[in-house]
């Protein structure tokens, strides 16, 4: 039967698809917090049941952390793999949410209909766009158009500790012609896009220790070293006045943007005033000698994601704390080596410590940046399908985020990754009041149906 019948089926089934997504969003599968371990497990079970309901052979696969979900359906033509993650970010600060993050709902807003709740866009809503496209396809055609493997992870938001060992162990099952990944956004919330450049990520948590107990600043203030003071000095030294990162060797392996890509990006007419204005800002804050799109897509960063120490409650307490803490992350590009940067960063901090202070470290996930070839004709086929659905020419773009799985597919299973996503800049990914536009969900499902159709037609051609 024709693609049009599948698209019509998707349109008719949208209310039921929305209900299914809301059901999945009700499970608080926060992977980074051990208190939600059971909920991660429940989300995996939910997905196994859902895949099975339209004929996919699916199972939950244990790991030392949260389980993976693997599903498979046989067929002719190319072997496609689809990856998504069912775990979500923590929800604090909870007081900034307008509703319970795990009591999701469809809301009418000034900008249109949205699905509100933690995980709506990242990544449950995006994951379900592909699942719903497959469900509609089987409803119309009795089966899927080609061999498809579903691969869902539950640790993406907590550094994916089990991912690489699991992929190495299941290398054969996870090898395919193309790995579709739905965890990215449209370009500027309106242009469909295939991401071909991703930044890497390195996370560090540091604790500066000083006195062996909290002290009273009346008795010790001035004479005892305060770990918060040391921490602020160390962190303030990470950037110079022009926004460059000062860690020795940090820029090793950072490439200059090729002229062709620079021209292509210039052609996108990125409007940084709107991009920043949407979140109450106006001035690009990165390296003063770089453009805003370059800052996001192709320059490395160093950000303090969390800081805490001393008395943080109501009122005042004149304490000199015995410890101060920070979480720092680096976005990496090109050939920057996360291990070398970790080492250099730690040495820089250790060299700055005054007498009486010490530092302890906790390393969080690290991944190199990725840049993906688009010379396989499947990319042009998919881009044409996206252009068709959205009625705007689809673009090859960079992405400031880090999606290590894309690199793993290339390296471990020799599978080309293709990143297509339908999030918007104002979705509040990782923030309070996360949402996914109903139009993203609807056109996302339809986009996958068109891409499936385009890939098998191209393959069969």
The strand pairing partners of 107, in sequence order, are 114
1 vs 219, beta carbon nearer a second copy:
219
Picking from 458, 455, 461, 457, the residue whose alpha carbon sits closest to that of residue 148 is 455
Helices 3-25 & 124-141 angle (0-180, nearest 10):
140
> Which residue's entry shows tokens 């921490």?
231
- Interface with a second copy (CB under 8 A), residue from 48, 136, 215, 451: 215
Kindly identify the residues of this chain, within the stretch 103-122, that bind a second copy according to CB under 8 A: none
Strand boundaries in 368-459, DSSP class E: 370-371, 395-399, 416-420, 435-437
Q: Give the number of other Cβ atoms within 10 Å of residue 410's Cβ.
A: 17
| Residue 284 touching a second copy (CB under 8 A) | yes
Angle between helices 338-352 and 227-236 (to 10 degrees): 130
Stretch in the footprint of a second copy (CB under 8 A) among 53-61, 77-85, 349-357, 445-453: 349-357
| Choices 64-72, 91-99, 146-154, 441-449 (CB under 8 A): range interacting with a second copy | 91-99
Q: Which of residues 350-389 bind a second copy (CB under 8 A)?
A: 354-356, 364-365
Contacts with a second copy in 41-80 (CB under 8 A)? none
CB closer to a second copy, 115 vs 201: 201
Compute the distance between CA of residue 187 and CA of residue 398 in angstroms, rounded to an integer.
Answer: 9
CB 103 within 8 A of CB 418: no
Site mask, a second copy, residues 134-173, x = CB under 8 A? Answer: -----------------------xxx--------------
Q: At residue 201, what are phi and psi to the nearest 5 degrees? A: -145, 140
Least distance to a second copy from the beta carbon of 249, Å?
19
Regarding 283 and contact with a second copy (CB under 8 A), the answer is yes
* Spatial distance between the Cα atoms of 277 and 262, rounded to a whole number of angstroms: 24
Query: For 83, phi and psi rounded to 5 degrees?
Result: -115, 140
Cβ 248 vs Cβ 344: under 8 Å: yes
Among 279, 288, 339, 411, binds a second copy (CB under 8 A): 279
Min separation Cβ 379 and a second copy, Å: 23
Nearest to 152 by CA among 74, 44, 270: 44
Nearest approach in angstroms of CB 431 to a second copy is 4
CB atoms inside a 10 Å sphere around CB 24: 22
Is cis: bond before 367, omega within 30 of 0?
A: no
Q: Which is nearer to a second copy, 301 or 415 (CB)?
A: 301
249 binds a second copy (CB under 8 A): no
* 3-class secondary structure, 280: coil
Binding of a second copy at residue 95 (CB under 8 A)?
A: no
Residues 307-336, one symbol each (x = binds a second copy by CB under 8 A, - = not), give xxxxxxxxxxxxxxxx-xx-x-x-x-----
Nearest residue (CB) to a second copy, 10 versus 353? 353
- We find the least distance from the C-beta atom of residue 176 to a second copy, in angstroms, to be 26
Q: Does residue number 255 form part of the binding site for a second copy (CB under 8 A)?
A: no
Q: Does 201 bind a second copy (CB under 8 A)?
A: yes
Q: Which of residues 227-246 bind a second copy (CB under 8 A)?
A: 228-229, 231-233, 235-237, 239
């Amino acid at each position: 039967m024709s693609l049009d019948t599948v698209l019509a089926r998707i349109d008719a089934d949208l209310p039921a698809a929305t209900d299914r997504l809301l059901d999945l969003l009700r499970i608080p599968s926060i992977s980074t917090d051990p208190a939600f371990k059971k909920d991660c497990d429940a989300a995996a079970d939910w997905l196994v049941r859902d895949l099975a309901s339209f004929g996919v052979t699916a199972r939950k696969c244990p790991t030392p952390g949260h389980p993976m979900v693997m599903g498979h359906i046989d067929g002719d033509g190319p072997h496609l793999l689809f990856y998504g993650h069912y775990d979500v970010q923590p929800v604090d600060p909870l007081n900034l949410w307008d509703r319970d993050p795990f009591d999701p709902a469809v809301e009418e807003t000034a900008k249109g209909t949205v699905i509100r709740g933690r995980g709506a866009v990242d990544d449950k809503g995006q994951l379900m766009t592909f699942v719903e496209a497959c469900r509609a396809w089987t409803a119309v055609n009795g089966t899927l158009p080609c061999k498809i493997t579903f691969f869902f992870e539950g640790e993406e938001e907590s550094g994916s500790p089990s991912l690489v060992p699991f992929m190495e162990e299941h290398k054969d099952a996870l090898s395919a012609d193309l790995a579709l990944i739905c965890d990215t956004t449209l370009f500027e919330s309106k242009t469909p896009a295939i991401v071909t450049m991703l930044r890497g990520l390195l996370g560090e948590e540091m604790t500066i220790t000083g006195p062996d107990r909290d002290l009273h600043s009346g008795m010790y203030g001035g004479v005892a070293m305060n770990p918060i003071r040391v921490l602020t000095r160390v962190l303030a030294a990470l950037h110079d006045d022009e926004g460059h990162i000062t860690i020795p060797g940090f820029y090793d392996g950072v490439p200059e943007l090729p002229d062709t890509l620079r021209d292509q990006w210039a052609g996108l007419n990125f409007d940084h005033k709107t991009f920043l204005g949407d979140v109450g800002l106006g001035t690009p804050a990165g390296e003063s000698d770089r453009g805003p799109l370059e800052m996001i897509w192709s320059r490395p960063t160093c950000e303090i994601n969390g800081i805490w120490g001393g008395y943080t409650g109501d009122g005042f307490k004149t304490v000199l704390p015995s410890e101060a803490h920070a979480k720092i992350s680096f976005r990496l590009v090109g050939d920057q080596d996360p291990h070398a940067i970790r080492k250099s960063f730690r040495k820089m901090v250790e060299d700055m410590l005054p007498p009486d202070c010490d530092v302890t470290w906790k390393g969080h996930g690290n991944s190199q940046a990725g840049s993906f070839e688009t010379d396989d004709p499947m990319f042009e086929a998919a881009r044409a399908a996206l252009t068709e659905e959205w009625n705007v020419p689809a673009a090859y773009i960079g992405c400031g985020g880090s999606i290590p799985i894309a690199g793993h597919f290339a390296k471990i299973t020799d599978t080309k990754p293709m990143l297509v996503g339908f999030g918007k800049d104002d979705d509040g990914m990782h923030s309070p009041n996360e949402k996914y536009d109903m139009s993203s969900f609807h056109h996302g499902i339809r986009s996958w149906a068109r891409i499936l159709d385009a890939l098998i037609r191209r393959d069969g051609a």
